[in-house]
């Protein structure tokens, strides 16, 4: 989908115009995939707008960078403030926020330790990611997720998304909204850009971090909400065939939010409709982000935007 541009992008501590945010073709990141990034949503609430779990996202960015020996020259607080600054400067809510740090122009060669680290933060309007409000028709991908001790799954690194692209393009080519990848041992892992949940007999299941998943912030939010609502939660390795016999299944992620799966490999999940556990969690999540329920977990960072532009 085409990007809807905004006026400003934050770069290394300053706001620059959208068109000035350019890099050299010989930058390290272009050749070796050396970037780490985040995807964050800012929601509109009745009294204004708020960024969902901003510190957790920026902490994950810092952690992704740390894994790749890319010390970011900004504190967590400075990065949080930078996100608020760029949203307020652009005056666009609701919006999607894309902070990215990468190894820039300096040296050639795989070892990027001497290349400068650049940090940019953009925001722009962006709607639903997985098509279909009636639930997503997905497939199990022929591609596996990243093997342990190859590309670290807990780092949200640009290079990991080459694997995600294979999963997503294959699904798209075969007429599915998304693909679910197995890990290298054949257990359920995650979608190309989403964590996966199953509901079986009223219990909520999700793959643990050791099954090559990203430590999703929406995943964590759903686990918190489920425990708070008294829904039993189990994190364990899950065999593929549970997808076909579970009662409910859904994806979570900043882009997809909470999206139920209607079918997997053309086999209906339950009766194909959003089931009661998913419905309850979906409502609890959207009530908080839309400001209809009290933000008891302090998940929203307020932003002051004068002129709101709809997605
Ligand atoms: C591979 C992958 N898994 C899971 C997720 C969900 O993570 P979050 O809920 O933090 O957006 C994402 C999105 O960032 C992702 O790219």
- What is the CA 41 to chain-centroid distance, rounded? 9
Q: Is 219 in the pocket of ligand 1 (CB under 6 A)?
A: yes
CA of 153 to the centre of ligand 1 (A): 10
**Residue 33: closest CA among 164, 120, 161:** 161
Which atom of ligand 1 is closest in space to residue 218's alpha carbon?
Answer: 9
Question: Is the per-residue pLDDT at 308 higher than 60?
Answer: no
Which atom of ligand 1 is closest in space to residue 60's alpha carbon?
Answer: 10
* 188 contacts 181 by C-beta, under 8 angstroms: no
Which residue, chain included where needed, has tokens 């999940």?
A: 269
Each residue of 57-101: pLDDT tens digit?
999 999 999 999 999 999 999 999 999 999 999 999 999 999 999
Atom 1 of ligand 1, nearest CA residue:
193
Each residue of 190-213: pLDDT tens digit?
999 999 999 999 999 999 999 999
What does pLDDT average to over the chain? 95
Token code pair at residue 174: 């075969």
Catalytic residue among 128, 156, 283, 304: 156
- What is the CA 283 to chain-centroid distance, rounded? 19
* Measured distance CA(108)–CA(114) in Å, rounded: 10
Tell me: cis bond preceding 94? Omega within 30 of 0 counts: yes
Which of 56, 146, 216 should be mutated for ligand 1, with most atoms under 8 A from CB?
Answer: 216
Tell me, yes or no, if 156 is annotated catalytic: yes
DSSP 80-129: HHHHHHHHHHHT--SEEEEEEEEE-SS--SS--TTSPEEEEEEEE----S
Write the DSSP symbol of residue 4. Answer: P
Token code pair at residue 172: 């798209």
CA distances, 5 to each of 22, 122, 124, 219, 291 (Å)? 14, 9, 6, 29, 27
Each residue of 96-141: pLDDT tens digit?
999 999 999 998 999 999 999 999 999 999 766 555 568 999 999 9
Question: Is the per-residue pLDDT at 311 higher than 90?
Answer: no
CA of 255 to the centre of ligand 1 (A): 8
Q: What is the CA radius of gyration of the chain?
A: 19
CA of 198 to the centre of ligand 1 (A): 17
């Amino acid at each position: 989908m085409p990007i809807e541009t905004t006026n400003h992008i934050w770069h290394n501590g300053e706001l620059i115009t959208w068109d000035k945010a350019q890099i050299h073709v010989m930058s390290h990141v272009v050749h070796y995939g050396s970037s780490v990034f985040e995807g964050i949503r800012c929601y509109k609430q009745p009294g204004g707008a708020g960024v969902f779990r901003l510190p957790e996202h920026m902490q994950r960015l810092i952690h992704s960078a740390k894994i790749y020996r890319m010390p970011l020259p900004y504190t967590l607080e400075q990065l949080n403030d930078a996100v608020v600054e760029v949203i307020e400067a652009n005056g666009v809510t609701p919006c999607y926020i894309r902070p990215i740090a990468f190894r820039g122009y300096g040296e050639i060669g795989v070892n990027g330790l001497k290349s400068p680290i650049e940090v940019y933060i953009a925001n722009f309007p962006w709607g639903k990611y997985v098509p279909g409000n009636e639930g997503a028709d997905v497939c199990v991908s022929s591609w596996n997720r990243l093997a342990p001790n190859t590309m670290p799954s807990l780092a949200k690194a640009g290079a990991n998304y080459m694997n995600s692209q294979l999963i997503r393009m294959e699904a798209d080519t075969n007429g599915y909204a998304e693909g679910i990848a197995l890990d290298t041992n054949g257990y359920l892992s995650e979608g190309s850009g989403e964590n996966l949940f199953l509901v079986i007999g009223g219990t909520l299941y999700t793959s643990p971090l050791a099954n090559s998943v990203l430590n999703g912030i929406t995943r964590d939010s759903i686990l918190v909400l489920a425990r708070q609502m008294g829904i039993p939660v189990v994190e364990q390795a899950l065999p593929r065939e549970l997808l076909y016999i579970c009662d409910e299944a859904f994806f979570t992620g900043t882009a997809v939010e909470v999206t139920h799966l209607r079918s997997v490999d053309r086999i209906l999940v339950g009766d194909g409709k959003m089931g009661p556990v998913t419905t309850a969690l979906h409502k609890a999540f959207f009530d908080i982000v839309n400001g209809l329920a009290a933000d008891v977990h302090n998940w929203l960072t307020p932003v002051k935007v004068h002129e709101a532009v709809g997605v």
